Amino acid sequence: MKLMLSIVVVGVAGAAAMGQRTVDCEWQVSLDSGATWQVGSVSAPQSQGSVWVRVVTTVRENGVAVPSGSQPHLTYALMEGWSTTAASNGDVVTGLSRLTPAVPTAFLPAPRPLLSQSAASRRFDNLLVADFRFDTSPPGQGVAISIDNMPGGQGQTPGYENPLPIFLMSIGLDGTAGDRVFSGAFVSGTRFSIAVPAGHILTGVPGSSSTWTAAPVTQFPVTLTIVPSPGGAAVVMGGVMVALRRRRR
């Protein structure tokens, strides 16, 4: 499969010398517009009108998170993000932003809005997908959103933090009760002539191409459960009781 809002194999010998590099990709939900973030399983009432969802990556070597600074870090990824529900509902993506580079510039502000520019949302059965604007392939395939965290000619400064938030989307909720599982896919691509397989992220030290390698990604989805309001439950139970009474008659 293909994010939400790609990656590589650079030499096996070089990768071995650098140790086993991997990337954790953690999905997080905020119920308060980014003031706090939660992982794993999160509950919210039906009155919750919207949530923010972000992706935070952690680069590891031999299982240990590398320190922040000019160390091997995420440099490039192609990703899609999506919300999986039991059935299609009326939820909508109201905003998409790339959170790198960490240091904003006049040309590449951070966060960088993507919705209606290079990215868009679409429905695919029970998936609400954040994807490259013109992609029509099934989720996990085709073209995806580019997450570029490398130095650029426009003064772009990469984010050296580890963990590093890379992608943010805001979701308008329609109040449908049940689970929404936020996860995505990293799609294959090419960066600086380096082929990046699906399920990988390009990592390395800027300016040191010998350190660039595609690291496999382990994703940690987050589940948002919309809990029916007490009033709604009472209405449902009332309807059941009325139906039972009719049957008895």
By residue range, what is the domain housing residue 238? 12-248
For 91-103, letters b (16+ CB in 10 Å) and e give: bebebbbbbbbbe
Total structural domains within the chain? 1
Domain annotation covers residue 4: no
Distances (CA, A) of 95 to 11, 51, 103, 200: 38, 11, 21, 25
- Please confirm whether the linkage preceding 111 is cis (ω < 30° from 0): yes
Domain annotation covers residue 1: no
Residue 230: the pLDDT is 81
- Whole-model pTM: value is 0.78
Domain annotation covers residue 3: no
Domain annotation covers residue 33: yes
Helices (H) and strands (E) in the chain, counts: 2, 17
Work out the angle at residue 193's Cα, subtended by the Cα atoms of residues 192 and 199, and round it to the nearest 5 degrees. 90
For 69-83, letters b (16+ CB in 10 Å) and e give: eebbbbbbbbbbbbb
Domain annotation covers residue 66: yes
Domain annotation covers residue 132: yes
Give 58's strand partners: 24
Give the pLDDT of the chain (249 residues) as one tens digit per residue.
443 333 232 333 333 345 699 999 999 999 999 999 999 999 999 999 999 999 999 999 999 998 887 677 777 888 899 999 999 999 998 888 877 655 444 333 344 555 445 667 788 889 998 887 777 888 888 888 888 776 554 445 566 778 888 888 899 999 999 999 999 999 998 877 888 999 999 888 766 777 888 999 999 999 999 999 886 544 444 444 444 455 555
Strands 194-196 and 112-113: unpaired
Residue 240: the pLDDT is 43
* CA–CA gap between residue 30 and residue 39 (Å, rounded): 9
Locus of tokens 């896919």: 185
Rg of the chain's alpha carbons, rounded to an integer?
21
Domain annotation covers residue 6: no
Domain annotation covers residue 95: yes
